[in-house]
Structure formats: C-alpha cells, structure tokens
Amino acid sequence: MIPATAILDERRAQVLRNGEAGGDVACGKNSAAGSVSQRACVFCGSRVVLYPIADAVHLVHGPVGCAVYTWDIRGALSSGPQLHRNSFSTDLQEIDVIHGGEKKLERCLRELVTTYHPNAAFVYSTCIAGIIGDDIGAVCRKATTEYGIPVIPVMSEGFKGTKKDGYRAACEALATLIGTGDTAGLGPRSLNILGEFNIAGETWIIRDYFTKIGVDVVATMTGDGRVPDIRRAHGAKLNLVQCSGSMVHLAKVMEERYGIPFKRVSYFGIEDMAQALYDVAEFFEDPEILRRTRELVRTELAMLVPALRQYRRDLEGRRAAIYVGGAFKAFSLVRALRHLGMRTVVVGSQTGNADDYRQLKELCDPGTIIVDDSNPVELAAFVNEKGVDLFIGGVKERPIAYKLGIGFCDHNHERKQALAGFAGMLNFAREVHATVTSPVWKYVPRRRLEPR
C-alpha cells in the first residue's frame, strides 16, 4: 500500500486510479511548493524547443547556472553546424544585477555574432533578467538592425509559469522567424515537421519516410533545424505536430497567419507511425503518395513484426510505469508496450492537459494509476504498489527505478538511441527486453510486493 504521506494533500486531485470514482485528473497547476516536482521551469521549456537549431547562437541572459546546465546534454543531432552544442551566457555578476545587464548583453551579442557569424541569435531571458527589468526586446531589435540577422528575444523567465509557458515562448520566438524567407520553388506536396527534435537522429528517420512517399519537407522544427528553412516554413502546405505540448501553439499561429492546416501525430510505435504517414497521404489526396505509403508501411512491418515476436515472448504480461514530459508521448508508449505484451499500470506526465488525461483514461486498463506533475516519493510508491518490471522516463526517474531493482528505458532528450519510426520501435523493443530480462535483478534486494 502507498504510505499515507506519499501524496501531499494539495496534490490528491492530480492522482487518479482509472475506473474508480472521481472525475478528471487535475492538471495545469503550478507545482506545490516543497514538492520535488520532476518539472523544470519556463526557461527549460524554451531551451528544449529551440536548442536543436544548429546555425543559431543561443545566448542565455542571466547568471551562469541556466546556461551551464543546458550545455550539450541533449542528444539533438545536426547534420551540419554544431553551434547549438555550445553554452553561451552573459554570466551576470552582482554588479550587473545592481546596475542592469543590458549593456553587457549588447556587448556579449556583438562578440558572439562577430565570432560565429550565425544565421540568427536567440536571447533567452531568465529569472534574473526579468526581475532586474532588462529590456531584452529593445537590445534584440537594435542588434537585429546592426548585424542584419534576426536577433530574437525568448521571454522565458523561469518563474513566469511552467515549462509549458516556456514552450509557448519558444513558439512565439519561432513565429517571428517564419514568414521572413523566400518560398519560391516549394512544391505543392510539402510539409513542416514540428515537435521533433532529432534525438539520436530521429528526424532523419522520419524525413526519410516522407522522401520515400514523395512529400517534401520544408523545415524541421526544430530537430536538425536551420534558420533559412524555418524562415520559409510558411510555404509548406501542411504542419505535422508531434509532442503536442510543445508546438501546437506554433501550428495554430501558422494556421491563423498563413492558412496552413496541421495534424497531430506521433512517430513512436507501430500504429502511430503508420497513422502519421497515412494522415499525410490522405491529406495530399494523391494516389501515388498513397500507394508509396502502403508499400513503405508494408515493407517496414514485414521486417519489424517478426523481429518483435521474439521480444514479446519474454515480455508478455510484464508491467510498466511511464512518466514523461508530455502526455502525448505516453499514448504512443502505452500502445507500443501492448505490442510487446506489456501492460501499463502507472502513467503520468509533467505537462499533460485535461484532454490528454481523458484520453489516457480511455486508453489504459482499469486500475492504472494516472498522475500529473508527480515527484520521486509518489512515483516510488506507485511503482512499488503496482510491482512494475519497467520504468520509462528520463534521467531523473532512472535512480528511482534502479534503486528499487526495476528495469529502465530512457525516453527523454538525453537518450542516445533512436526510438522513433519503425526502426525506432525495434530499438525500443530491444532496449526494453534488455533491461527487463537482465540477470542483475536476481541479485537485488528489492522486496517485490504482490501486484494489485
């Protein structure tokens, strides 16, 4: 049983057992003070979304911490420039906090732009820049004129909301770039990929599928992203949005401004990946694209399905816990785990919305614990109660799993293995199999509770 103190009173409405009485999972709230939320901050949300744009300078305006903890820790790959893998900071000191940091920001921008000749610069506001009231917008406007490249403020003060607000600020920043490039030469069957960050080369896998079915990709936002592509993204005919939380806002803005429709997709798991391709084929109403899509899916599945069988044999009936950033990814994971014969008994996210949680309720078995904005004490109690064999999460969840003798799969931005696409599904199955069936669990002292 879960210890009485595991869930703080003010968080009880954010935890639900599927099928039991009670309405929806409460969500969209600020994290309770003193809870060890797995969320980060507004800045983190913006930094995650914009980080993979490889030909831009990303300058964090604040004390050094915000920049240093986000230095080259993500697996977002670039096929060309590697500028994004640096950490640039104005490294505000006490004197700057007293007198203001605008002048320092101006000087730092000059240094970086003249040293690296980027195609754009993003300037991230942090808690301190916000509190001391630096006019980052004005500095950026001036720099844009002076250097002839877009210098874009990202209003990501850490305390001004949650990670989701950071996504939004990043979308606003991107929206200022879009529409400024030349769309000449873009064909009628073209799309943008939004909310795909090229972790371990995943954007390349997806992009390759679209090339195969005969659809052009204009801009990838932001995996392997480039400023010139983003500037002409308004020339595409369709926006495909993955990772719902982070970039739906941008898709909506583009729909409003440029009349580009969008579709929400996921590239994780078999059905979701295939559905994403069929959605595109259907959208363009081109029999040739549809034929190629069918062929692609058939070929991929002919390889994938037999390969999965051997893993499923060992994994059948095992139980999994999922705790991820956005709830949309959780849907795909629940379905992908079913292909491996596994049941999801705990599922949660940092930033899911009411719709997301309703869908999760429909998707999951009765008794599954569904949780919003959880923390280590809760998560440990949940996985213990449910007796799980696998935890899917990020680096912050990993020690919870390992200390308790539970297998772990990293599905966060730090992962070094591609998990998207059909190829990614096979990698996922291999990784899950490797961890769940490892001999090491025979030697750990974990007291396995009877699963409920």
CA distance 231 to 254: 12
Q: Where are the alpha helices (DSSP H) in 259-366?
A: 270-284, 287-315, 327-339, 354-363
Which residue lies nearer to other proteins by CB, 61 or 292?
61
Sign of the CA dihedral 282, 286, 292, 294?
positive
Which residue lies nearer to other proteins by CB, 233 or 404?
404
Which residue lies nearer to other proteins by CB, 126 or 198?
126
Which residue lies nearer to other proteins by CB, 57 or 276?
57
Cβ–Cβ under 8 Å, residues 311 and 247: no
Provide, rounded to whole angstroms, the least separation between the CB of residue 191 and other proteins.
Answer: 33
Which residue lies nearer to other proteins by CB, 254 or 392?
392
Which residue lies nearer to other proteins by CB, 189 or 413?
413
Provide, rounded to whole angstroms, the least separation between the CB of residue 140 and other proteins.
Answer: 15
Which residue lies nearer to other proteins by CB, 395 or 434?
395
Cβ–Cβ under 8 Å, residues 258 and 279: no
CA distance 78 to 266: 21
Provide, rounded to whole angstroms, the least separation between the CB of residue 318 and other proteins.
Answer: 20
**Dihedral of the alpha carbons of 253, 254, 255, 256, in degrees to the nearest 10:** 50
Provide, rounded to whole angstroms, the least separation between the CB of residue 148 and other proteins.
Answer: 20
CA distance 376 to 310: 33
Which residue lies nearer to other proteins by CB, 108 or 193?
108
CA distance 428 to 418: 8
Provide, rounded to whole angstroms, the least separation between the CB of residue 172 and other proteins.
Answer: 17
Provide, rounded to whole angstroms, the least separation between the CB of residue 226 and other proteins.
Answer: 22
Provide, rounded to whole angstroms, the least separation between the CB of residue 97 and other proteins.
Answer: 5
Q: How would you write 386-452 as a 3-class SS string? A: HCCCEEEECCCCHHHHHHCCCEEEECCCCCCCCCCHHHHHHHHHHHHHHHHCCHHHHHCCCCCCCCC
CA distance 2 to 24: 21
Which residue lies nearer to other proteins by CB, 130 or 348?
130
**Dihedral of the alpha carbons of 362, 364, 368, 372, in degrees to the nearest 10:** -70
Q: Beta-carbon neighbour count of residue 275 at 10 Å? A: 16
Sign of the CA dihedral 59, 326, 39, 68?
negative
Provide, rounded to whole angstroms, the least separation between the CB of residue 5 and other proteins.
Answer: 6
Provide, rounded to whole angstroms, the least separation between the CB of residue 6 and other proteins.
Answer: 7
CA distance 209 to 212: 5
CA distance 395 to 184: 43
Which residue lies nearer to other proteins by CB, 45 or 424?
45
Burial-class residue 445 by CB neighbours within 10 Å (0-12, 13-18, 19+).
Answer: exposed
Which residue lies nearer to other proteins by CB, 258 or 402?
402
Provide, rounded to whole angstroms, the least separation between the CB of residue 351 and other proteins.
Answer: 13
Provide, rounded to whole angstroms, the least separation between the CB of residue 381 and other proteins.
Answer: 7
- Altogether, the residues listed in the chain come to a count of 452
Which residue lies nearer to other proteins by CB, 34 or 306?
34
Cβ–Cβ under 8 Å, residues 186 and 232: yes
CA distance 173 to 253: 12
Provide, rounded to whole angstroms, the least separation between the CB of residue 128 and other proteins.
Answer: 5
Residue given tokens 């950071």 in the structure block: 166
CA distance 155 to 4: 40
